[in-house]
């Protein structure tokens, strides 16, 4: 299935909201859901929608991302023609010099001119959803749009979308108005940073941005051009998590403990792919007591685990108690330690008898490789 | 001309494994699922890779479809190489007609040209039927050090079991003086593990001799090794210490799986220095519900557990509904166990659906199970079926309702 569309995943956005989780990695490679990284979701969505030419634009802290993506083989993107491209900026941007995505896209104009596809899907790396993009691409084509923006109809605030611009559509689904000042628009449609564009339109926007020195795709490219371009809106339904704070990361991780969300996010409409690891099955010894939890392979459970998420290769020793927490890859919770309402990053060791407790709705975050 | 290799491994994977019953109905024994996410052959292939042997010929014959697709180009074992790597070697047709592999030795004989390509010093012959971790590199060093023509890996087995194996009698220096295949009265308890190192020139010569002997059954254990002993070659026993299991029967297959659940598993799957590799299924994390009870078990990704799992192994993608109880069982990929079903000391084949309220156990009321029950892959076991013996045919089940059991 060829749908004449290429994909762009933007990893250049600000990531300091995730504090310790993005100390040594970019947003795209933040671990999520026991065995995935945030980027896996949009990357798999694109692949499952028949997009086989995907570029990932990074700005900094991309070592772990490159390690994760490798040749793209896990997503079937190790192709002779097209495939996966990881494109760091052509030059180093000192702080303050980086002005927006259009600036980095401009660094790699050749990539766009070499690609044969007519349409481009542009996404952020922090959207967790399982989505078939094909209906939206068809919608974009039927409407003869320059740009199609995705939106989310919200009933009640969802973490992650609270501060997003709202938008209003006319009957033809064309965008009538974008919210510019917060609260100025009474609409339940929140704008997502997921767009479908004609490649020629994108190239024009890049060109314009060099002349004007204004490089934000969303503001300078889309919102300010509302009256010059055909911009349409398309709804995104089903489970969606936009991860942009620790709180929201924590809450949306805990959402996965609902088997229905599990089923929907991991299987419908497509599979979510990630870098595979050779982990043996998870072992539960006689004294293990696990309830309402998600576990990846390679764990060893000797203690008690409740309402928690355990990544690959986590060890929970005898008498240890883990509750309402997220424990990342290869962390070790020793005998009689207690972890409650915490997000524990990779390779952390919580030594015997130690207690880590967060507040309700304010989980403690323990950075990578710490010994407690 | 390909680059010379020090050692080429020839992995015998054509066996039917008839004693495994319906487990090998559609797959060769080396491809039978094992230990939750592996297949039996993964252990030998991982040993090759971990030992630094990256040129491996896999000899297939019986039901090779699953085996072929499992091995693919060998990437899970790092055997996708520009030179060497893994090559699947099925029997083939020549100008003078083709032949099936008549025996283990004949299988290698028919593929001598494959080995010639690499002009190795040594040929390692192994089998894809055994569960063990072994550094073949050490065995080759031993082979060099003892200036052997042939080395045979041996393991001390309990005397009472010795008559089930090929038994070696050795002198003080470890040189093999006699080889008996499954002797009634064993003179020794050193069993052959089916792991051989040959000097390439010697192997070539003796495979030709064996092939030209019309009375030979063309088997390494029965014909070639005895011939080499008669000709007074330097045949040495390489003593191996560690876990090794031939999973030839349903009982030993079940036991070897259960060995992973013992307090100190004799074969450590969690050792990162000697990992067992396999084709990794892409499955989400497994979920254990509020009311589930899981202990003393191994669970894989993609499972949803709402019931009780005790002393059992769940392969990827298994669904255990509420109220179901699984005891001392091996559940293969994508099996569904319906509400309130009880499964005890059973092996349930891939993709099978066990209906609500089924009882699968050889135990009488209140007793303990007398035998292991096998349920075939890809079948639907109707709701409320009672199964007390190995189940091959849906029409044999009585008292069940044929409603689709599980969603």
pLDDT tens digit string along A45-98? 999 999 999 999 988 888 899 999 999 999 999 998 899 999 988 777 776 677
Strand partners of residue A355 = A338
Distance from CA of A319 to the nearest CA of B (A): 15
Give the closest of A265, A288, A297 to B295, CB-based.
Answer: A288
Q: What is the DSSP string of A113-157?
A: HH---SEEEEEES-EEE----HHHHHHHHHHT-SEEEEEEE-SSP
Give the closest of A259, A278, A290 to B280, CB-based.
Answer: A278
pLDDT for position B341: 95
Q: What are the two backbone dihedrals, phi and then psi, of residue B223, each rounded to the nearest 5 degrees? A: -120, -55
A129 touches chain B (CB under 8 A): no
Q: What is the DSSP letter of B277?
A: P
Distance from CA of B111 to the nearest CA of A (A): 32
Task: Identify the band that residue B94 occupies on the pLDDT scale cut at 50, 70 and 90.
Answer: confident
Give me the mean pLDDT over the B195-199 stretch.
96
B299 touches chain A (CB under 8 A): yes
Class of residue B268 by CB neighbours under 10 A (exposed 0-12, middle 13-18, buried 19+)? middle
Q: Which residues of B touch A292 (CB under 8 A)?
A: 288-290
Give the whole-angstrom CA distance, residue B195 versus residue B44. Answer: 10
In 3D space, the residue among A231, A52, A16, A28 whose CA is nearest the CA of residue A124 turns out to be A28
A271 touches chain B (CB under 8 A): yes
* Of the candidate ranges A156-165, B360-369, B387-396, the one whose mean pLDDT is the lowest: B387-396
Q: Which residues of A touch B301 (CB under 8 A)?
A: 35, 296-297
First to last CA, chain B: 57
B285 touches chain A (CB under 8 A): yes
Q: Which residues of B touch A309 (CB under 8 A)?
A: 285
Distance from CA of B310 to the nearest CA of A (A): 9
Supply angle C-alpha A52, A57, A61, rounded to 5: 130
pLDDT for position A2: 67
A254 touches chain B (CB under 8 A): no
B289 touches chain A (CB under 8 A): yes
Are B289 and A291 within 8 A, CB to CB? yes
Q: Residues of chain A whose pLDDT is less than 50?
A: none
A283-366 maps to which CATH number? 2.160.10.10
Give the whole-angstrom CA distance, residue B347 versus residue B375. Answer: 6
B143 touches chain A (CB under 8 A): no
B270 touches chain A (CB under 8 A): yes
Give the whole-angstrom CA distance, residue A301 versus residue A318. Answer: 8
For B103-146, the pLDDT digits (tens) are 999 999 999 999 999 999 999 999 999 999 999 999 999 999 99
For A157-207, the pLDDT digits (tens) are 666 676 778 888 888 899 888 888 877 788 888 899 999 999 999 999 998
Give me the mean pLDDT over the B260-282 stretch.
92
Judged by CB atoms within 8 Å, which residues 75-114 of B form the interface with A?
76
B317 touches chain A (CB under 8 A): no
B74 touches chain A (CB under 8 A): no
Distance from CA of A35 to the nearest CA of B (A): 7
Asked if residue B261 has pLDDT above 80, the reply is: yes
For B292-337, the pLDDT digits (tens) are 999 999 999 999 999 999 999 999 999 999 999 999 999 999 999 9
Give me the mean pLDDT over the B155-182 stretch.
89
Distance from CA of A267 to the nearest CA of B (A): 9
pLDDT for position B401: 42
Class of residue A362 by CB neighbours under 10 A (exposed 0-12, middle 13-18, buried 19+)? exposed
ipTM for the complex? 0.89
Q: Which residues of A touch B298 (CB under 8 A)?
A: 280-284
- Residues 6 or more apart whose CB falls under 8 angstroms from that of B34 comprise B40, B42, B131, B247, B253, B256, B257
In chain A, domain spans? 5-267, 283-366
B174 touches chain A (CB under 8 A): no
Are A284 and B270 within 8 A, CB to CB? no
Class of residue B211 by CB neighbours under 10 A (exposed 0-12, middle 13-18, buried 19+)? middle
Element (H, E) at B131: strand B130-132
Q: What is the DSSP letter of B279?
A: P
The CATH T-level fold of domain A5-267 is Spore Coat Polysaccharide Biosynthesis Protein SpsA; Chain A (3.90.550)
């Amino acid at each position: 299935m060829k749908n004449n569309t290429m994909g762009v995943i933007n990893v250049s956005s600000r990531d300091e909201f995730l504090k310790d989780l993005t100390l040594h990695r970019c947003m795209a490679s933040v671990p999520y859901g026991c065995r995935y990284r945030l980027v896996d979701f949009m990357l798999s969505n694109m692949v499952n929608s028949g997009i086989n030419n995907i570029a990932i634009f990074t700005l900094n802290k991309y070592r772990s991302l490159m390690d994760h993506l490798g040749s793209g083989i896990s997503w079937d993107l190790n192709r002779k023609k097209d495939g996966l491209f990881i494109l760091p900026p052509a030059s180093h941007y000192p702080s303050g010099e980086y002005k927006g995505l259009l600036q980095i896209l401009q660094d790699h104009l050749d990539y766009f001119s070499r690609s044969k596809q007519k349409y481009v899907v542009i996404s952020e790396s922090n959207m967790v959803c399982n989505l078939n993009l094909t209906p939206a691409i068809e919608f974009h084509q039927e409407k003869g749009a320059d740009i199609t923006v995705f939106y989310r109809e919200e009933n009640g605030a969802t973490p992650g979308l609270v501060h997003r611009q709202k938008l209003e559509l006319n009957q033809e689904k064309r965008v009538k108005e974008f919210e510019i000042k917060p609260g100025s628009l009474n609409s339940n449609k929140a704008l997502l940073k997921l767009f479908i564009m004609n490649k020629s339109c994108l190239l024009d926007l890049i060109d314009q941005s060099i002349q004007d020195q204004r490089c934000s795709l969303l503001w300078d490219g889309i919102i300010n051009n509302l009256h010059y371009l055909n911009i349409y809106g398309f709804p995104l339904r089903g489970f969606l998590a936009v991860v942009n704070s620790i709180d929201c990361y924590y809450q949306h991780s805990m959402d996965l403990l609902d088997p229905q969300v599990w089923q929907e996010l991991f299987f419908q409409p497509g599979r979510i792919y990630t870098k595979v690891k050779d982990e043996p099955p998870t072992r539960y010894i006689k004294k293990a007591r696990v309830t309402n939890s998600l576990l990846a392979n390679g764990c060893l459970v000797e203690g008690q685990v409740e309402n928690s998420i355990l990544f690959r290769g986590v060890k929970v020793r005898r008498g240890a108690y883990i509750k309402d927490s997220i424990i990342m890859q290869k962390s070790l919770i020793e005998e009689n330690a207690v972890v409650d309402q915490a997000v524990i990053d990779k390779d952390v060791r919580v030594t015997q008898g130690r207690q880590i407790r967060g507040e309700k709705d304010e989980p403690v975050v323990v950075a990578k490789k710490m010994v407690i | 001309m390909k680059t010379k290799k020090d050692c080429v491994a020839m992995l015998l994977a054509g066996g039917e494994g008839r004693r495994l019953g319906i487990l090998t109905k559609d797959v060769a024994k080396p491809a039978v699922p094992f230990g939750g996410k592996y297949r039996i052959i993964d252990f030998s292939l991982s040993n090759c890779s971990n030992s630094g042997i990256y040129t491996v010929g896999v000899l297939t014959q019986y039901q090779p479809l699953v085996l072929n697709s499992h091995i693919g180009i060998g990437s899970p074992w790092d055997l996708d190489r520009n030179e060497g790597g893994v090559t699947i070697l099925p029997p083939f047709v020549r100008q003078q007609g083709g032949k099936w592999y008549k025996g283990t030795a004949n299988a290698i004989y028919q593929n001598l040209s494959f080995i010639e390509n690499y002009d190795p010093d040594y040929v390692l012959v192994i089998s894809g039927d055994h569960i063990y971790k072994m550094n073949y590199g050490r065995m080759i060093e031993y082979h060099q050090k003892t200036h052997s023509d042939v080395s045979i890996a041996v393991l001390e087995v309990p005397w009472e079991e010795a008559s089930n194996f090929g038994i070696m009698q050795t002198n003080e220096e470890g040189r093999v003086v006699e080889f008996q295949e499954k002797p009634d009265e064993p003179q020794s308890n050193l069993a052959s593990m089916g792991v051989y190192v040959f000097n390439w020139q010697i192997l070539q010569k003796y495979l030709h001799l064996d092939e030209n002997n019309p009375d030979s059954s063309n088997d390494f254990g029965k014909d070639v090794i005895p011939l080499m002993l008669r000709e007074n070659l330097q045949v040495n026993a390489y003593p191996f210490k560690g876990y090794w299991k031939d999973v030839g029967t349903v009982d030993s297959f079940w036991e070897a799986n259960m060995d992973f659940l013992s307090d100190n598993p004799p074969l450590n799957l969690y050792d990162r220095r000697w990992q067992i590799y396999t084709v990794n299924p892409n499955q989400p994390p497994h979920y254990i519900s509020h009311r589930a009870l899981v202990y003393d078990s191994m669970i894989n990704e993609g499972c949803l557990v709402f019931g009780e799992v005790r002393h059992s192994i769940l392969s990827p993608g298994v669904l255990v509904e509420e109220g179901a109880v699984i005891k001392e069982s091996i559940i293969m990929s994508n099996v569904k166990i319906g509400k309130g079903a009880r499964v005890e000391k059973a092996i349930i084949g891939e993709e099978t659906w066990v209906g609500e309220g089924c009882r699968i156990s050889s135990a009488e009321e209140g007793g303990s199970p007398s035998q292991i029950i096998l349920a075939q892959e890809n079948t639907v076991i109707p709701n409320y079926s009672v199964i007390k013996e190995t189940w091959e045919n849906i029409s044999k089940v009585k008292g069940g309702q044929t409603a689709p059991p599980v969603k």
